[in-house]
A and B are shown apart, each in its own frame.
Chain A
């Protein structure tokens, strides 16, 4: 959980209070805090003068606008066909081993969440993953360990 504080007000000042401001506001909250709490969605609804159900209904449509608690670093492993053919399963099991969690879970220290996702547009350099916004490609079980270690601070 994180505190909502003045954040939503500030974001509304920045992006506006129209319906079309909703996505940019939710996206910026998720970039900062990795997921949306009930409190923050209610606060957004109040700022934009729409119902909380509208905010939740919109957020829940979008895979990247998580409404479940997520870790500081969200790892998304591409599971579409080319990555799947080029060793995605080895990448997932390596990540599960070093993070000691399964796909869909978050580490107890809230540092990492491990997820699978659909094609992220790097099939020519498969297997590929996203960590937060950053893509990592041409991975092997060895290189993915190095990549994740870079986030372990």
Chain B
């Protein structure tokens, strides 16, 4: 596989003429916009990585005159803080992304679901939104955006739980299908995209799909905003071209003593030092919504695992048994092994449980608990036992 190395990029935070790029999009047909997004190879930046162009195409194909564009700004994955920075610095690009998406799919209404923890940003976001609404009114385009707030539930970042929450219910994920493109918010065709995905779409329209396609690798096109924290001398938000290895990442951001990198937050994967060189950060290796946490050799991987399991046990919506009971059992299980109340071979039983949760859980939360669990237990078994 071609190795791209580590390259810094400046697309998401670049200041651009919003009016110019919107006029460009308004002069294109819906199909032309969608074609650009398809050709760019962009995959969703919220974690799951569904091709954005396809999502837009499916939503556009629905006949219902009422459709919605939803921006997912729930950003609850531990270690992710880039969407806050994007909204803080370039909110008008998010609004433009939603408007262009609306034009492409025939939607006239957008919602931004902002996590309650970011409420302090609302006053400035409203000022920007007011200016933006005036701008599109001036050119006679009919699209409006409203904010809806979360109230401290991680699961509401899951798209169907998010719809439930906006509709005024408990944030419990729905069965799929039907998918949001067919029946989403208020049971209408809905395109839900992450904050960064929408801004990336704006930049693809601005620069052209060909330019964007040049960045990244076959499976992971373009660049991405990373949220970098933990044992690093330079924690913060960095936009990097996709396709680097964990080793190249650690060379730039490590403190010289990195023993593991947790890629993709609590629902992502733990990469140990011996696999840094062979592991690519992207859909061909370890995918990430942007969360990158570095751990040096002074850190206990048991503490990391325990912290994540505690997180999942609290944040599981409790709707389905494999996840509700499974999260509790994994947490209690590793505690027992650590205390010597269960044999170390009990870990094998717990790994089986994590596998069962992957197939039997209703939504991505329960399905991905096993990612961190297995990658930590398999690579740092001694630290979990002793």
| Interface residue ranges, A against B (CB under 8 Å) | 18-24, 26-27, 30, 57-58, 61-65, 79-82, 84-85, 117-126, 130, 133-135
Q: CB distance A134 to B152 under 8 Å? A: no
Report the bound CA distance from A101 to B230 in whole Å. 30
Q: Given A62-B152, A123-B79, are A118 and B315 neighbors across the interface (CB < 8 Å)?
A: yes
Binary per-residue interface labels of chain B (78-92) against chain A in the complex, 1 for a CB within 8 Å, 0 otherwise = 111100100000000
- The residue of chain A having its C-beta at the shortest distance from the C-beta of B314 within the complex is A118
Identify which of B21-29, B113-121, B128-136, B206-214 touches chain A: B113-121
- The residue of chain A having its C-beta at the shortest distance from the C-beta of B167 within the complex is A20
Q: CB distance B168 to A21 under 8 Å? A: yes
Name the distance in Å between A69's Cβ and chain B's nearest Cβ.
18
Q: Given A81-B307, A133-B119, are A124 and B237 neighbors across the interface (CB < 8 Å)?
A: yes
Report the bound CA distance from A18 to B308 in whole Å. 37
Report the bound CA distance from A58 to B165 in whole Å. 9
15 chain-A/chain-B pairs, Cβ below 8 angstroms: A19-B167, A23-B166, A57-B170, A62-B151, A64-B152, A82-B79, A120-B117, A121-B84, A121-B115, A123-B78, A123-B79, A123-B81, A124-B236, A130-B117, A135-B117
Candidates A19, A121, A130; contact of B81 at CB < 8 Å = A121
Q: CB distance A64 to B171 under 8 Å? A: no
Q: CB distance B168 to A19 under 8 Å? A: yes
Report the bound CA distance from A80 to B267 in whole Å. 13
Residues of B within 8 A of A121 (CB): 75, 80-81, 84, 115, 117-118
Report the bound CA distance from A118 to B154 in whole Å. 9
Q: CB distance B75 to A19 under 8 Å? A: no
Candidates A18, A27, A79, A118; contact of B151 at CB < 8 Å = A27
Extra pairs beyond A27-B149, A62-B171, A121-B81 (17, CB < 8 Å): A21-B168, A23-B148, A23-B168, A27-B116, A30-B151, A62-B152, A62-B153, A64-B152, A81-B230, A81-B308, A117-B152, A119-B77, A121-B118, A123-B229, A124-B228, A124-B235, A126-B229
- The residue of chain A having its C-beta at the shortest distance from the C-beta of B122 within the complex is A133
- The residue of chain B having its C-beta at the shortest distance from the C-beta of A61 within the complex is B170
Residues of A within 8 A of B117 (CB): 120-121, 130, 135
Report the bound CA distance from A19 to B79 in whole Å. 33
Residues of B within 8 A of A21 (CB): 168
| Interface residue ranges, B against A (CB under 8 Å) | 75-81, 84, 115-120, 148-154, 165-172, 227-231, 235-237, 293, 299, 303-304, 307-308, 311, 314-315, 317
Residues of B within 8 A of A124 (CB): 81, 227-229, 235-237
Name the distance in Å between A77's Cβ and chain B's nearest Cβ.
13
- The residue of chain B having its C-beta at the shortest distance from the C-beta of A59 within the complex is B151
Report the bound CA distance from A120 to B315 in whole Å. 14
Q: CB distance A81 to B168 under 8 Å? A: no
Q: Given A121-B118, A123-B229, A124-B237, are A23 and B165 neighbors across the interface (CB < 8 Å)?
A: yes
Residues of A within 8 A of B236 (CB): 124
Report the bound CA distance from A126 to B235 in whole Å. 10
- Of all A-B residue pairs in the complex, the 6 with the closest CB atoms, nearest first, are A63-B152, A62-B151, A124-B235, A123-B229, A64-B152, A22-B168
Q: Given A20-B168, A123-B78, are A61 and B303 neighbors across the interface (CB < 8 Å)?
A: no
Report the bound CA distance from A4 to B186 in whole Å. 31
Report the bound CA distance from A65 to B170 in whole Å. 12
Residues of A within 8 A of B151 (CB): 23, 26-27, 30, 62-65
Report the bound CA distance from A119 to B81 in whole Å. 10
Q: CB distance B168 to A85 under 8 Å? A: no
- The residue of chain A having its C-beta at the shortest distance from the C-beta of B154 within the complex is A118
Interface centre among A57, A119, A133 (most CB of B within 10 A): A119
Residues of B within 8 A of A135 (CB): 117, 120
Residues of A within 8 A of B148 (CB): 23-24
Name the distance in Å between B376's Cβ and chain A's nearest Cβ.
12
Name the distance in Å between A103's Cβ and chain B's nearest Cβ.
14
Q: CB distance B170 to A23 under 8 Å? A: no
- The residue of chain B having its C-beta at the shortest distance from the C-beta of A20 within the complex is B168
Report the bound CA distance from A64 to B79 in whole Å. 20
Q: CB distance B307 to A84 under 8 Å? A: yes
Residues of A within 8 A of B303 (CB): 81, 84
Residues of A within 8 A of B237 (CB): 124
Residues of B within 8 A of A30 (CB): 151
Candidates A23, A117, A119; contact of B79 at CB < 8 Å = A119
- The residue of chain B having its C-beta at the shortest distance from the C-beta of A50 within the complex is B168
